[in-house]
Chains A and B, each alone.
Chain A
Amino acid sequence: MHTVVIGVIGADVHAVGIRIIEHVLRKHGFNVVNIGVLSSQEDFINAAIETNAKAILVSSLYGHGEMDCKYMKENCEEAGLSHVKLYVGGNIVVGKQDFKDVEQRFKKMGFDRVYPPGTDIEEAVEHIKEDLNTA
């Protein structure tokens, strides 16, 4: 059973969606460590170290995700987590922007998968299974 860390990054307090993500991932057999809202990059990283997580799923709904996620990949590498897959999803940028462009920017920042608003979590689950070879 793979462990994944999930949480809402930055000064974002949207608490409902993350519970749904937790529920669905559990149903699919993942060991889910939900660090909740108002989480810093450091919180995600520390949780992943202690729990030996294979993936970190970052949620953000309030528009400042791009700022909050800056250097997350570098910080993971610094903490010895280069092997951990990074996922991000939600309203991750300010205003309405072309998603292709957004996706590219986040991939450049080191995220493995980037999801636009309104993505069904089941879709991401398939990707996680594929990426972690549990399909």
Chain B
Amino acid sequence: MSVHLLVDFGSTYTKLTAVDTEKEVIVGTSRAMTTVRTDVLEGFDMALEKLQKAHPDMGEITTISACSSAAGGLKMAAIGLVEELTAEAAKRACLGAGALVNHVFSHHLSKKEIKTLKQADVDIILLAGGTDGGNKECILHNAKKLAEAKLGIPIIVAGNKDAADEIDELFEKSEEEYYIVDNVMPKLKKLNVAPAKDVIRRIFITKIIEGKGIKKAEEKIGEIIMPTPEAVLQAAELLSKGHEEVEGYGDMMVIDIGGATTDVHTIGEGSPKRTEVILKGLQEPFAKRTVEGDLGVRYSANALLSLVKPYEFKKYYENGDEEATDEDIEEAMQRRHDNVDYLPENDQEKAFDKALARICCDYSMSRHVGTVEVVYTPLGNMYYQTGKDLTEIQYVVGTGGVLINNAGAKQILKEVLHKSHKKLELRPKDSEFLIDELYILSAMGLLGQKHPRLALKLLKRHLK
């Protein structure tokens, strides 16, 4: 027997999944609190002990792969020229690599913006600007400002190639850590995020996890190969596309509702479904991820109140306490923000969590899907489509604690579907819902790096 152990160092829990690669089964899963403040291996050892206790006959662990989102995950800043073009392309490259993007700057960086960067908690900066052969004045200006600022943060340059040599000299002199890769938008509206994503991952593996106190885990468990959100995206892509002759599930969506953020991943072109629809804006990545930093059921719970007023909240609060006052609702949200490992104890609290999850689902969907807009032309009605048309998505997969530990999870996921009062949003119309009951998506993304066929098989078996 040979066991491949998949590890996910999360911000709250360290989660283990053991896969027997010969018998092709998941032996078991376990979890323990993440311990980045002391020694990250303490949490890992505890989880492993639990796993081995529960499965004493588990074979020898031959390989370990890990992903991490501990200590706040990977935080990036994206810089571009035009907000809707290269700045957006840079942001998408960061998101696709599993990062949280808290700062996006466009045009010339000002002193104030440099100051913001200095004070911000940023792990990597992605600098773009100009198509190949296009504007290079702006990216040169920004590179110069960054070089002068001496931020001590790795900088990835993925802009107009005509500016690459000058930027190379600039950063060489300033002794900043920098990487020059292919342009994220080589031609107008054409997206090319793969080269930037590769470097982000490389920096993450070699540098970032060290600063976050996870590096020492490597001695014992081998390489930490990617940020957790990227592992989830990879699992989704594998399940969607299939592997060699084994067919996948086709276009799909994954919603991951966490305590602090809600991630939405979609795999599919999302191109217009009708001839009178014209696509606008930057090209969409085939595997697209968006992250909502203000949507979550614990740490971000109190932030939900700025989106949903208490009276609106009641629309999402099915079978809940009908007499709950506005203060009760605010208090319940605050309690969740203050205790991120809070678990609901009674039916009412469970209903409340469900309501929060439904809000996260609904709002994250509004921000992820494309929209249509009617244009009245002399030739009749035409439509602009911005973003992805997801009306024909076949499967929606739900993951994250609040969905996994919830009997009504599929009911919550129905919030993603087409809504009559949000008619212009291109939401899925008629999808099947699957729940990641064993919480294995990120683990399968990791396993898929070496054993794609097995990972695909296990995904199909365990997503229900």
Contacts and interface: CB of A to CB of B under 8 A. Distances in A.
Interface in B268-286: 278, 280
A12 B384 CA distance: 12
A123 interface: no
Interface stretch (B33-41, B371-379, B436-444): B371-379
A49 B135 contact: yes
Interface stretch (B81-89, B207-215, B301-309, B361-369): B81-89
A62 B135 contact: no
A129 B385 CA distance: 36
A52 B134 contact: yes
Given A38-B278, A52-B134, A11 B81 contact: no
A11 B135 contact: no
A31 B377 contact: no
Contacts of A47: 188
A62 B379 CA distance: 9
Contacts of A49: 81-82, 135
B136 interface: yes
A13 B137 CA distance: 34
Interface string A33-52: 10111100001001101111
A8 B281 CA distance: 15
B68 interface: no
Nearest to B380: A13
Given A37-B278, A38-B382, A50 B377 contact: no
A50 B131 contact: yes
B185 interface: yes
A46 B133 contact: no
A43 B282 CA distance: 11
Interface residues of A, number: 22
Nearest to B381: A11
B130 interface: yes
Nearest to A35: B188
B386 to A, nearest CB: 12
A51 B131 contact: yes
Contacts of A35: 188
A50 B82 contact: yes
A128 B402 CA distance: 62
Nearest to B382: A13
B130 A52 contact: yes
Given A46-B84, A46-B85, A11 B377 contact: yes
A49 B139 CA distance: 12
Contacts of A52: 130, 133-137
Given A50-B134, A50-B185, A38 B82 contact: no
A83 B38 CA distance: 60
A33 B133 contact: no
B133 A31 contact: yes
Contacts of B376: 11
B272 to A, nearest CB: 12
Interface string A1-36: 101000000011100000000000000000101011
Interface of A: 1, 3, 11-13, 31, 33, 35-38, 43, 46-47, 49-53, 62-64
7 contacts: A33-B131, A36-B278, A46-B84, A51-B133, A52-B134, A62-B378, A63-B378
Nearest 9 interchain pairs by C-beta: A51-B134, A11-B377, A52-B135, A52-B134, A46-B82, A11-B375, A51-B131, A50-B85, A33-B188
